[in-house]
Amino acid sequence: MSTPETSRFVRLRVEVVLEVDDEDALTRAALQRIAGDSTMPADERAHAEGSVTEDTAEALAYLVDPFDLVSDVPGIELAQASWSSERIDHDPDSHEWDLDDDDVDEDFDDEAPHRVG
């Protein structure tokens, strides 16, 4: 329940590790998304196309939208969102990747986030 002293805002942190098995398909999808955005200025479009062509992580960032994750959740309105993607070395057997850990990584400020809101 919410009391007058309790903030109405909730931060939801989600970390997802994805394996890209078809970089070309991912890049094509990102380019299609960019081409379909009629509101994007031409200079920004050229930059975005170059970014997603050179970096698969950037292509993924153009395709993932936090709004899509919460748009059907009743009783909420997205106030602000940021997300980023980066290539990583991943060892699923490493303790570092144990999803049951309660460790919270505060490095988000060091990344170049994409923002909505």
Here the tokens at position 36 are: 């379909």
In a domain, 3, yes or no: no
Question: What phi-psi label fits residue 89: left (phi over 0), alpha (psi between -120 and 50 degrees) or beta?
Answer: beta
Q: Please provide the size of the chain in residues.
A: 117
In a domain, 83, yes or no: yes
In a domain, 12, yes or no: no
How many domains, the chain?
Answer: 1
In a domain, 13, yes or no: no
What digits encode the pLDDT tens for the residues 49-64?
999 999 999 999 989 9
In a domain, 81, yes or no: yes
Q: Give the count of beta carbons closer than 10 Å to the beta carbon of residue 115.
A: 10
In this prediction the pTM is: 0.67
What digits encode the pLDDT tens for the residues 37-48?
999 999 999 999
Lowest mean pLDDT among 8-12, 57-61, 88-92: 88-92
Distance (Å) of CA 6 to CA 1, 2, 76: 9, 6, 16
**Contact between residue 34 and residue 49 where contact means Cβ atoms under 8 Å apart:** yes
In a domain, 8, yes or no: no
**Contact between residue 23 and residue 56 where contact means Cβ atoms under 8 Å apart:** yes
In a domain, 15, yes or no: no
Q: What is the reported pLDDT for 77?
A: 93
* Domain housing 60: 23-116
**Contact between residue 78 and residue 116 where contact means Cβ atoms under 8 Å apart:** yes
Whole-number Å distance between alpha carbons of 68 and 72 = 8
In a domain, 31, yes or no: yes
